[in-house]
Structure 1
Amino acid sequence: MAPVGSITLVQGIEVGHFTDTRRPTGCTAILAQAGAVGGVDVRGAAPGTRETDLLHPTNLVERVHAIMLAGGSAWGLDAASGAMRWLEEQGVGLDIGVGRIPLVPAAVLFDVQVGDMRIRPDAQAGYAACVAASSAMPAQGNVGAGAGAAVGKIFGMHRAMKGGIGTASVTVDGITMGAIIACNALGDVLNPDTAQVVAGARSPDGRSLIDTRRALLRGDLPQPVLAGSNTTIGVIATDAIITKAQANRLATVGHDGLARAINPVHTMSDGDTLFCLGTGASGRSLGMMVLATMAAEAVAQATLRAVLHANRLQIEAGENHKAVHLPSAADLQ
């Protein structure tokens, strides 16, 4: 698999994971300690988010200091509080005269069907993710917000596969656009260049992929799915100079990358959410046509890498949870 970069190649961006192997679950902090122009676009019908309203172009705050991605469903939103505490200790945040308020929007995915749901990311986990953050290549697969992720659940969890977290970037004329995606999709994950399904719903015997889109179109009935029990979340970042309105537009077109790599996507049972950060650290910009193309490409490739780097997960039944077997993409090749 050829390397395709990382979001940490964007000047001014650091990434850190916290992984709780007891369940597993975790969270991922994407830091912009110098501040970054922020945007967001929520396309899934069952989102779990925090501080997204402040990113609207007409609202006051211009720059944010981190984005938190977490498992644990709504419980995981607490991880952002830990990031705020860590950033405050570093002297990072909006200057309000008597102190600083770090601004940390967040989004969560539903992974509580994997293991004991009483174990979930909290403020301490968010703090630990920030402590671990650096500009090095982030770990991918079964780590951070992707630790408990699964994909292809539309015909039941027993036919699903392991999801994960992935990152990618593209550089044009000295400007970099990167993405980090925690993929916990209801649908299949496809190679965006070939449209081949690489992970998703499996056949009843579990040995092959069925291609969910084709299965639904020929009349196979999906299993009833709990609303919000999926979700792909992520961050797009660029070192180009962009406005807040442009950051929101890049978050929007980033969903084109999700649509190339996930099918079905943006369903009533997904809370698909993408943030965009613009650090401006390159001191330059490109036209929005190029930046938008770069954003969609980075998202698509990061989504693919999330499942290609994932490893199989086997959890035996316990007092408070069911057994789970999630093969990886490599297991079916």
Structure 2
Amino acid sequence: MGGAITDVAGVKVGHFTETRRPTGCTVILTEEGAVAGVDVRGAAPGTRETELLDPSNLVEQVHAVLLSGGSVFGLEAATGVVRWLEEKGIGFPAGPATVPIVPAAILFDLDHGDHHIRPDAAAGHAACAAATSLPPAEGSVGAGTGATVGKLFGAARAMKGGIGTASVKLGQITVGAIVAVNAVGDVVDPASGRVLAGARDTAEGRERIGTVDSILRGDLPAILQAGMATTIGVVATDATLTKAQARRLAQVAHDGLARTINPVHTMWDGDTIFALATGKSGQAGNMTVLSVMAAEAMAAAVLRAVLHAQAIAGPGVPQLPTASDFD
């Protein structure tokens, strides 16, 4: 499956990729506003403004969503997104001010290089300045720069993750997804059951051992530090949705993660999916159909994230293989 989340009218994407160590951030801009929802399934999340998206709360639309590396420190990049939107006069009218609404989520990539280097407000601002409606770059860019997968047995036996995007169009309605894949689990092709990227037998090994098979054999690591992973993403549509429907779309988009990441939603992942509805098609859509489209687009985006991943070099950066190195 091809396409990109930018196939959805009203959506732009911009990356900032840090050159000093593998990290970065990605902004999904909806400058004219989009109804939004969110669903957090992982047990170690790092998020911003997610409570605002509850259907019972006031604000109906958001103006951007930020996905960032840098663990909790990376949430600072959202400040730069807010500043960029304010400079454009975009936001929620609040008394004398116009307040941009920018939810965000982060992943953990501090174990590559100097962990004091992480996306900041300048990085978020730069991602906005780079945003376009063209198909975004995939692989080791933006929020996916420092992403890795198959980490149950430690970073040395993992493989490179990344960021991917895909879309599905049916009639007048398009659903797209973008996801930064940084999972404890393996990425598995649901069509064949084959592990594309995941835990390996040794740090130098080329055999992908299958994390779930290892767990079921009782082959477990002595220790795994909590909060060392997380897959974060956005599903977007040009259909017209309510906030409650947007939250539901975010929930079912996790089905795409469950089809392609195994195990998923672990105690060490903070898996978070946002949903955006721009309404640009003028069509309400059918929630069952939209749900199928969202899960399919998200699953395809996960696969593309690892298939487009590139090796990253630098001081203190493990030389992890990519899926393309093996196949």
Same fold (TM over 0.5): yes
Aligned partner of 2:299 in structure 1 is 300
Per-residue deviation at 1:223?
A: 4.5
Per-residue deviation at 1:227?
A: 1.1
Per-residue deviation at 1:236?
A: 0.5
Number of aligned residues? 326
CA contact (8 A) 1:208 1:332 kept: no
Per-residue deviation at 1:85?
A: 0.3
Aligned partner of 1:177 in structure 2 is 175
Aligned equivalents of 2:242 and 2:96: distance in 1? 28
CA contact (8 A) 2:22 2:312 kept: no
Q: Which amino acid aligns with 2:206?
A: R
CA RMSD between the two structures: 1.0
Q: Which amino acid aligns with 2:323?
A: A
Q: TM-score, normalised by structure 2?
A: 0.98
Aligned equivalents of 1:102 and 1:224: distance in 2? 42
Range with greater deviation from structure 2 (41-50 or 188-197)? 188-197
1:4-83 equivalence runs, <5 A: 4-83=2-81
CA contact (8 A) 1:175 1:285 kept: no
Gaps of 5+ in 1: 318-322
Per-residue deviation at 1:96?
A: 1.9
Aligned partner of 1:101 in structure 2 is 99
Q: Deviations over 1:94-140 (max 9, x none)?
A: 01241210000000000000111010000000000000000001000
Q: Which amino acid aligns with 2:242?
A: T
CA contact (8 A) 2:149 2:184 kept: yes
Per-residue deviation at 1:220?
A: 1.1
Aligned partner of 2:308 in structure 1 is 309
Which of 163, 166, 186 is the matching residue for 1:165? 163
1:131-150 equivalence runs, <5 A: 131-150=129-148
CA contact (8 A) 2:7 2:174 kept: yes
Aligned equivalents of 2:267 and 2:240: distance in 1? 35
Aligned equivalents of 2:150 and 2:243: distance in 1? 34
Aligned partner of 2:237 in structure 1 is 238
From the superposition, tell whether residues 223 and 156 of structure 1 become closer, same or farther in structure 2 (CA, over 3 Å): farther
1:89-238 equivalence runs, <5 A: 89-204=87-202, 205-238=204-237
CA contact (8 A) 1:187 1:212 kept: yes
For 1:276, what is the secondary structure of its paired residue? strand
For 1:16, what is the secondary structure of its paired residue? strand
1:255-294 equivalence runs, <5 A: 255-294=254-293
Q: Deviations over 1:290-328 (max 9, x none)?
A: 0000111111110110000001223344xxxxx512110
Range with greater deviation from structure 2 (198-207 or 170-179)? 198-207
Aligned equivalents of 1:223 and 1:178: distance in 2? 40
CA contact (8 A) 2:151 2:184 kept: yes
Q: Which amino acid aligns with 1:120?
A: R
Q: Which amino acid aligns with 2:187?
A: V
Aligned partner of 1:329 in structure 2 is 323
CA contact (8 A) 1:314 1:326 kept: no
For 1:267, what is the secondary structure of its paired residue? coil
Aligned equivalents of 2:229 and 2:8: distance in 1? 28
Per-residue deviation at 1:165?
A: 0.3
For 1:292, what is the secondary structure of its paired residue? helix
For 2:313, what is the secondary structure of its paired residue? strand
Q: Deviations over 1:211-246 (max 9, x none)?
A: 111121122113522111100000000000111000
Q: Which amino acid aligns with 2:230?
A: T
Q: Which amino acid aligns with 2:21?
A: R
Aligned equivalents of 1:289 and 1:143: distance in 2? 33
Per-residue deviation at 1:36?
A: 0.3
Aligned equivalents of 2:175 and 2:50: distance in 1? 21
For 1:220, what is the secondary structure of its paired residue? coil
CA contact (8 A) 1:199 1:328 kept: yes
Gaps of 5+ in 2: none
Aligned equivalents of 1:102 and 1:233: distance in 2? 21
CA contact (8 A) 1:156 1:223 kept: no
Range with greater deviation from structure 2 (203-212 or 49-58)? 203-212
